[in-house]
Amino acid sequence: MLNKTNTLRILLLAILAGFAGCTKEKAIPFEPHVEKEVANNPTDLAIQDILKTYQTKIVYKWDRRYISADASATPPQFELIKPYIDNILRKLFIAAYDRQKSDFMVKHMPIEMIFIGSSINYDAGDERNFSASGMAQSFSRILITGINAYDLNNKSWLRGQYATLHHEFAHVLDKIYSRPMGFDDVSKGLYAGSTSFAVFTQAEARSRGFWKNYGMTNESEDFATWVNGIVTTPKDEVLTIVAANDLLKRKYTLVYNFYLSKGIDLHLLQEYLQTILQ
């Protein structure tokens, strides 16, 4: 049995150990409350309106983390952000869907849209010497490039912008709903992978069921390039192209019906976009 002296000694050691343990804990740092930044200029007000309506955050302030370490890009010019939102994002992207189904973009807009001034140029790695005009990161974020070349009189630039927007948005819908059942099987075994697609001609790509050779990268890019192709090409031309072989015809039908099941006719979307260029 423990005597009183030993009991007191043990109790004292326990108390001292307890104090020692407490002194090791780090103090919780004080973080003062930061008021939410209030929009006080036309650009930020336009961004705020997009956020309020579609729950989409537009990011234009440069952050290197948005692109990979082996790539480079240029920040967007501040004075071009609002014109881009008003004349490109709203007219060539949001309106193209909402005019067919009024609540479509409220339900499907990505959580973030990152504006970049130039293209994204890969300087190293497997994709060296490759330039990307846009990028989708799951269903939550898309990167839009070429803002600094803003020119409403340049039809080539306009076409490139809405092609990129609808291409990247196709990736978003792909992530939400998955590609049409059977789409990945049409050209199974015929994909090139990575940047190897560049060695194939347009004719070779079409013979394998791809809209263009870039679609040979993987099934996801295959799907997105088909959407890109349909929304930038008049219907009669699309139908002529897909009549060339059964692989093209099957993919066209799957992609077109996928959008139609969501309330969007891609041919009507193309007709609307074409009126903007006239």
CATH number for 163: 3.40.390.70
Say yes or no to pLDDT of 183 above 50: yes
The pLDDT tens digits for 44-54 are 999 999 999 99
* Within a domain: 14: no
For the chain, the domain total comes to 2
The answer to whether residues 173 and 207 belong to one domain is: no
| Token pair of 28 as six digits | 């919780």
The answer to whether residues 58 and 133 belong to one domain is: yes
The answer to whether residues 164 and 111 belong to one domain is: yes
* Within a domain: 102: yes
The answer to whether residues 141 and 250 belong to one domain is: no
The answer to whether residues 195 and 76 belong to one domain is: no
Q: Region 18-30: what's the mean pLDDT? A: 43
State which amino acid sits at residue 204.
E
The answer to whether residues 162 and 238 belong to one domain is: no
* Within a domain: 150: yes
Q: In what order do the strands lie in the sheet with 120-122?
A: 71-72, 120-122, 131-132
How far, in Å, are 44, 181, 268 from residue 256 at the CA level?
37, 13, 11
The answer to whether residues 166 and 108 belong to one domain is: yes
The CA distance from 200 to 187, in Å, is 15
Q: What domain range includes position 273? A: 179-278
Q: Which residue has the tokens 């983390």?
A: 65
* Within a domain: 207: yes
The answer to whether residues 171 and 258 belong to one domain is: no
The answer to whether residues 130 and 199 belong to one domain is: no
* Within a domain: 12: no
The pLDDT tens digits for 65-74 are 666 666 677 8
The pLDDT tens digits for 84-108 are 999 999 999 999 999 999 999 999 9
Say yes or no to pLDDT of 198 above 80: yes
The answer to whether residues 83 and 151 belong to one domain is: yes
* Within a domain: 130: yes
Q: Which of 152, 177, 202 is the last residue of a domain?
A: 177
Q: Residues 110-133, buried b or exposed e (16+ Cβ, 10 A)?
A: beebbbbbbbbbbeeeebeebebb
Q: Which of 177, 210, 235 is the last residue of a domain?
A: 177
The answer to whether residues 184 and 172 belong to one domain is: no
The answer to whether residues 116 and 65 belong to one domain is: yes
* Within a domain: 173: yes
Q: Which of 162, 177, 192 is the last residue of a domain?
A: 177
- The answer, as to whether pTM is greater than 0.85, is no
Q: How far from chain centre, in Å, is Cα 78?
A: 21
